[in-house]
Amino acid sequence: MGAKHLACGVATTILISAGGVAAPQGSAPLLELVADGVQIYACEAKEGGFDWSLKAPEANLFDNQGREVGTHFAGPTWKLDDGSEVVGEVVARADSADPRAIQWLLLRAKSHQGSGALSVVAYVRRTDTKGGTAPSTGCDTNHLSQQARMRYSATYQFFSAAK
């Protein structure tokens, strides 16, 4: 698959439904992967108190046959074993039906590397999340700068640009 130039200024309609976030109308699914890993939080001083702040995800990515095919890490970035990489920025959020699970997201690609499968991705959608929320306790002056690694899993779907 050759690299294609993706227009960044194209207006798209983003649908948000009660069950999560939908891909932009007219976009086509390219790839679906399951992530298994952690969301990393740090205890920080905020607005006269303390709170857990998301620092980065750290997860392995698996295809529908269960083979590990890449990683997901800070950026947020998805990188496949074929050398392709996409970095996204959040454009829509929806709460998971499970309050102990991180939000569902729609992200727009803001940069790419390599010429593999992720080189033509315009949008990434995170759904079916399990776990990963920040700890509800343990962030105070005695724990400042400490990290918490919270287990999570999610489905990541990669889409082409809307036509």
Q: What share of the chain is helix, strand, coil (3-state, %, to 5)?
A: 5, 55, 40
What is the model's pLDDT at position 162? 78
pTM of the model: 0.85
Mean pLDDT by 10 residues, the chain (163 residues): 31 40 91 98 93 97 97 98 97 94 97 96 97 95 95 97 80
pLDDT of residue 13: 33
Q: What is the pLDDT of residue 30?
A: 96
pLDDT at 19: 53
Which residues are 111's β-sheet partners? 87
- What is the predicted pLDDT for the residue at 47? 87
Angle ∠(16,34,108) on CA atoms, nearest 5:
40
> How far does Cα 60 stand from its chain's mean position?
12
- CA dist 118 to 25, 61, 112, Å? 20, 13, 7
